[in-house]
Structure 1
């Protein structure tokens, strides 16, 4: 007997949209080993009223592409990245879209220079909405930018 699974399958790397912040097709690593999500930022400035302004790096090659975003952080968090040194990070809410799946997620702001993907989607972002096939990439989205 074959069971039908209604959840879409994604690869370990996909392109995602962040419509609230005006980004399309950001390269993201789907990482079920990471609880939280993170995005590459080059600079963060504190503004009056508890708001922040940050420069999101959406692409590094062939040319670097950034955009400034303003948001009110929902909290700060101490995260222990793979480097082992705990870091305090701002965490903001935004919508993420992967194929037909759209969710509001918490995303931490961190410098991801030297990483393959500008964004990391942790398991709490898409849990229960997709199945991850770690042997595949770009299952729901194409590899090339449009």
Structure 2
């Protein structure tokens, strides 16, 4: 399958987390992907560690809560050189008509313009980033059927 060209920013979805539309920055300089969360909490489900989290997505009314199994916890270095321990989860990403499973960490990205950062591991083997492109894959709008004349 040939790689699909995407812009440096796109609309993406994380359907398993109840997030049908998020502004995403595609960053080939970042290895891992990150989702902004307002808060997170841990719990155990069927003997396995899970994380619950909440975020405010601009396109949704109010706060969205979701949960996912923890797949890892590791140190991540941000763009400012600060190292922090972050929880990693796996979920489905829908981007440019392609759906694939990705791994991402949960982070406080409150000072960032994009709640979702997609790093090169999420993009590998499926997408190529056009740094001059922006929102190349806008969500298609449903066409309304033509109106029928009303009988008077």
TM superposition score normalised by structure 2: 0.83
Asked whether the equivalents of residues 29 and 117 of structure 1 are also in contact (C-alpha less than 8 Å), the reply is yes
Residues in 2 aligned to 1:6 and 1:44: alpha-carbon distance in whole angstroms: 37
**1:14 pairs with one of 10, 13, 27:** 10
After TM superposition, give the deviation of residue 66 of structure 1 in Å. 2.6
Equivalent in the alignment of 1:91: 88
Equivalent in the alignment of 2:55: 56
Equivalent in the alignment of 2:109: 112
* Distance change in 2, residues 1:10/1:115 (3 Å): same
Q: Which runs of 5+ in 2 are unaligned?
A: 140-152
Q: Which runs of 5+ in 1 are unaligned?
A: none
Asked whether the equivalents of residues 9 and 140 of structure 1 are also in contact (C-alpha less than 8 Å), the reply is no
Q: Does 1:35 align with 2:70?
A: no
Q: Does 1:24 align with 2:25?
A: no
Asked whether the equivalents of residues 77 and 89 of structure 1 are also in contact (C-alpha less than 8 Å), the reply is yes
SS at match of 2:57: strand
Asked whether the equivalents of residues 40 and 58 of structure 1 are also in contact (C-alpha less than 8 Å), the reply is no
**1:123 pairs with one of 120, 123, 127:** 120
Spell out, residue by residue over 1:12-68, the C-alpha distance to the aligned partner (whole angstroms, 9 max, x if none). 000101111111110000000001000000101111342221113322x8x874311
Specify the structure having the higher radius of gyration (Cα): 2
Residues in 1 aligned to 2:52 and 2:34: alpha-carbon distance in whole angstroms: 16
Residues in 1 aligned to 2:117 and 2:56: alpha-carbon distance in whole angstroms: 13
Asked whether the equivalents of residues 2 and 126 of structure 2 are also in contact (C-alpha less than 8 Å), the reply is no
SS at match of 1:74: strand
Asked whether the equivalents of residues 15 and 93 of structure 2 are also in contact (C-alpha less than 8 Å), the reply is yes
TM superposition score normalised by structure 1: 0.86
Spell out, residue by residue over 1:88-142, the C-alpha distance to the aligned partner (whole angstroms, 9 max, x if none). 0000000000022111000100010010100000011011111111011000125
How many residues were matched structurally?
136
